[in-house]
Structure 1
Amino acid sequence: MKRSPPQQPFELSMTLADQYNSDGCAISFELFPPKTDAGIESLCENVERLLQFQPRFFTCTYGAGGSSQGTTLEVLQRVKQITKLPVASHLTCVGLNTEQLSDYLRRATEIGVDYIVALRGDPPKGTTEFSVTEGGLRYANELVGLIREQFQDLGIAVAGYPEVHQEASDAQTDLDNLKRKVDAGADIVITQLFYDNADFYRFRDDCVRAGITVPIVPGILPVTNFKQAQRIAGMCKAAIPISLADAMTTDDSPEHQFRVGVDHARQQTIDLIEHGVPGIHYYVLNRSAAAAELLDGLQLAGQA
């Protein structure tokens, strides 16, 4: 199928919630900061390829404990120059006090960051429990509150967990935590990756019953090999459906595993669109091939 022609960029002044107030399915892509200059150049080339799918914005993570914050801002500045689209920086409570958090937010706004993905953050490598930095914050809802108090113009996304956060005692506790983040001022919820759409629909229904009215945006990772799927799913406690595991393990060739993973993500995407999701956030791992394959020809927001 033919891809839709490029359209004019969305207005940079559009709020984060506004991105999901139009017809169709608004998409966004998540990047991570490369470790080398060559990696940044490769990332920029992939960003240019992804523009054909008319994303609403790009996000960028940073390393554990804020180890690559500077590179994250460099990446976002380059992406904004290339795309003329809004950009979002991840920000966690790990290893930073409130003064340092505010300083990062100031630097982010100075280089043109539009949105923040506000997270508590995972415990540093080698530890199993989150530890509050002296003078810092314990929970993501506190980070949302700090942003709302000091940087009112920044859009805020928070994380949701269709299969329950691994540290939550139960699903209701996890949902209560999400409600606190939304009540503190979050504009949207972006979910952790999942491989079974039924988990997302159940989570979305639970959010509605809990009084969460902001857009719930599913997060999709197109896996391209089974070992990668196992590793990433193990990190976030996402279940891999038996059908996907069986299909990927029948042939260990890179071509077969790529095709199976992309086809699965494409079917997830089609089903999510048919179920009326306001948007989809793709974890693309700084590559464009899998995302381009799965999105080719699909009817998305703003496309002819």
Structure 2
Amino acid sequence: METICEKIAALGPDESFYSFEFFPPKTDSGVQNLVARLRRMAQLNPLFVNITWGAGGSTATKSLDIASLCHSQLNLTTCLHLTCTNMAKSVIDEALAKAKANGIRNILALRGDPPRGDEYWTPSESQEFLYAVDLVRYIRKEYGDYFCIGVAAYPEGYADSQTPEEQDPKIDLPYLVEKTAAGANFIMTQLFFDTDKFIDFEHTLREHESGLFKTIPIIPGLLPINTFQSFIRTAKLSHAHIPDRVMEKLNAVPSTDDEQVKQVGVEVLTEMIHRIYTETKHRVRGFHFYTLNLERSIALILDRSDIVKAPSRHTPKSNLPAASTVSIDTLIADGVKDIKLDAASPASTEISLAADPSWDDFPNGRWGDPRSPAYGEIDGYGITLHVPANKALELWGSPSKSSDVSELFIKYLNGTLDVLPWSEQEGLSPETKIIEDDLVKLNNLGLWTVASQPAINGVPSNDPVFGWGPPNGYVFQKSLIEFFVPEAVWLKLKNKLQNDDKLSYYASNSRGDFMSNMTASDVNVVTWGVFPNREVVQPTVIEEQSFKAWSEEAFAIWKEWQRLYPRDSATSDLITNIYDTYFLVSIVHHDYVNTGALWEFLQL
């Protein structure tokens, strides 16, 4: 198989290309359905595909399996992400050896998330790889020119090392010079929406005195806009500047109408591609799409753009059978042995769901359908506090007893604290403000709430607080609550729940103990809508598989928070006790007509 750079070199002087990035979904059914999605997206003829790698090798097995499938079953040129910071050298060695054994010849060498402090650093295992440049040098030393190596660049500056006001790509330029001189073959950028900043960045690199960047492929990373909320969240997490002209386009359509937002996003990215290709005089002719494992926006962009049209010679010759006959059993027989089918679900169910490219368009991630290939973190890089360590310490201080933690949750609810470790946005959403008093009461009782929603019954889809979807519809939702609670309190509440058939619950602790009054196949639809000329839309479900995945992540956030403090400190001991003795509980009340039912029930 050719490397990425060999394939780029084989293109005509003005011929463009594009590539796709995928991440391993959190659930087994999500991984299964990703197989079908990969097969379809392979027919869009990307020059190559990237497979992400979770922080600390957390998705190592899944990442390697998916990369191997792309290479051997779909005949796609495949690039495996590899992060090195705070990761054992043995994990890196195993990943590189397996990649080579499976014929994968491309690596995107990344630093990954740094450790939080010296207390949690393991020199014997990790110190050899402090930065991405160390990984580049190591790969070159051990494998010579076998691997084509890509490195990351930041057109707006590296967000973790600078505040948004301080971000400046010139600060990071010496590190990019060092990585390139160490043996990098191509450069891939962080996502951005400000085309001017990328064009300036590309010009700076091409004119750099070292001469290293005269001809090296520089591939801009582009994120399709699927929903307004996810767009704003992603831009904030990556510190990506949103130009006024982009916001003006988005503000011209209802932010709650996902389809209109998607169409504007297609227009925005199509314009970005045209400007970059034209204004760099075709020096930049490749475009990398952070797909989030979704396909419809990508297909629309490729259909509408005059630049990124697929050359016929890129068409992969898939070894997979036709879409209508694909089964997980076939894939396993062909060697993809670590992508397994849940015995409770027939293969035909998974594949038939995935046959419609838009069945899981809205939403994806935490509150989406766990069967979706897009189920998981949008960035694919693992657990994060969403704020830098110094900011986290400033915000949350050093709690030493459980009442201190209760106070933090209540401050967040009252608006005097901007963010908590489990929150992805600053401050409460407008709908959560409606039940603020009920949530404060629960947190005063020691039930630390991390997710909630009030019940609504037939609110117009253009409602400023609850509305979503196309116009002239009505939306509904059941009340729900998720919270951390001491085991003794949970067991008392559990006895009360057993006697009310209008409530469904899941509960789990850090040890994996799991309780529910439902079967594994039960699914709770908690938000849905009815719109003209279409079926009932059910965008939000809660069920066992997704709750277990979220529970594991929610408890891991406690450990990530704990990393901010010395091992023997009062705060560290407190978090250890919480991690060891608390349950995460999710409760849905099915009487959405009685909007106060859940909050009345929870008055312990």
TM-score band w.r.t. shorter chain: 0.7 to 0.9
Q: Secondary structure at the match of 2:73?
A: helix
Match of 1:147 in 2: 139
Match of 1:197 in 2: 195
Match of 1:303 in 2: 311
The separation in 1 between residues aligned to 2:265 and 2:271, in whole angstroms, is 10
Contact kept, 8 Å, 1:32 with 1:61, in 2: the verdict is yes
1:35-79 Cα shifts (integer Å, max 9, x gaps): 223212322222222233321111111222221111001111122
Aligned AA (1:141): V
The separation in 1 between residues aligned to 2:236 and 2:5, in whole angstroms, is 31
Match of 2:130 in 1: 138
Match of 2:111 in 1: 120
Match of 2:352 in 1: none
How far did 1:235 drift?
A: 1.7
The separation in 1 between residues aligned to 2:170 and 2:122, in whole angstroms, is 27
1:202-221 Cα shifts (integer Å, max 9, x gaps): 11111112222311111111
Q: Which has the higher contact order (CA 8 A, sep 6+)?
A: 1
Contact kept, 8 Å, 2:222 with 2:269, in 1: the verdict is yes
Alignment of 1:48-63 (within 5 A): 48-63=39-54
The separation in 1 between residues aligned to 2:122 and 2:169, in whole angstroms, is 27
Q: Tell me the TM-score normalised to structure 1 length.
A: 0.88
C-alpha distance 256-128 of structure 1, shift in aligned 2 (>3 A): farther
Match of 1:284 in 2: 291
Match of 1:41 in 2: 32
Aligned AA (2:104): V
Higher Rg: 2
C-alpha distance 99-128 of structure 1, shift in aligned 2 (>3 A): closer
Match of 2:245 in 1: 243
The separation in 2 between residues aligned to 1:282 and 1:128, in whole angstroms, is 33
Match of 1:220 in 2: 222
Q: Secondary structure at the match of 2:263?
A: helix
RMSD (CA atoms): 2.2
Aligned AA (2:136): V
Match of 1:9 in 2: none
For structure 2, list consecutive stretches of 5 or more residues without a partner in the other structure.
Answer: 313-604
Q: Secondary structure at the match of 1:53?
A: coil
Aligned AA (1:218): P
Match of 1:177 in 2: 175
The separation in 2 between residues aligned to 1:301 and 1:227, in whole angstroms, is 29
Match of 2:3 in 1: 15
Contact kept, 8 Å, 1:87 with 1:115, in 2: the verdict is yes
C-alpha distance 116-228 of structure 1, shift in aligned 2 (>3 A): same
Aligned AA (2:89): T
Aligned AA (1:224): N
Moved more, 43-52 or 56-65: 43-52
Pairing 1:156–2:146 present? no
Q: Secondary structure at the match of 2:43?
A: helix
The separation in 2 between residues aligned to 1:243 and 1:300, in whole angstroms, is 23
Contact kept, 8 Å, 1:225 with 1:248, in 2: the verdict is no
For structure 1, list consecutive stretches of 5 or more residues without a partner in the other structure.
Answer: 1-11
The separation in 1 between residues aligned to 2:309 and 2:16, in whole angstroms, is 5
C-alpha distance 258-128 of structure 1, shift in aligned 2 (>3 A): farther
Aligned AA (2:141): E
1:16-47 Cα shifts (integer Å, max 9, x gaps): 32222222112110000112232123222222
Aligned AA (2:248): D
Match of 2:85 in 1: 94
Q: Secondary structure at the match of 2:189?
A: strand
Contact kept, 8 Å, 1:73 with 1:111, in 2: the verdict is no
How far did 1:255 drift?
A: 1.1
The separation in 2 between residues aligned to 1:238 and 1:92, in whole angstroms, is 22
Contact kept, 8 Å, 1:224 with 1:257, in 2: the verdict is yes
The separation in 2 between residues aligned to 1:65 and 1:43, in whole angstroms, is 23
Aligned AA (1:260): V
Q: Secondary structure at the match of 1:296?
A: helix
1:221-278 Cα shifts (integer Å, max 9, x gaps): 1111121112111221111122222332440211111111121112112222334113
Count of matched residue pairs: 290
The separation in 1 between residues aligned to 2:202 and 2:38, in whole angstroms, is 30
Aligned AA (1:228): S
Q: Secondary structure at the match of 2:98?
A: helix
Contact kept, 8 Å, 1:94 with 1:132, in 2: the verdict is no
The separation in 2 between residues aligned to 1:245 and 1:64, in whole angstroms, is 32
Contact kept, 8 Å, 2:228 with 2:258, in 1: the verdict is no
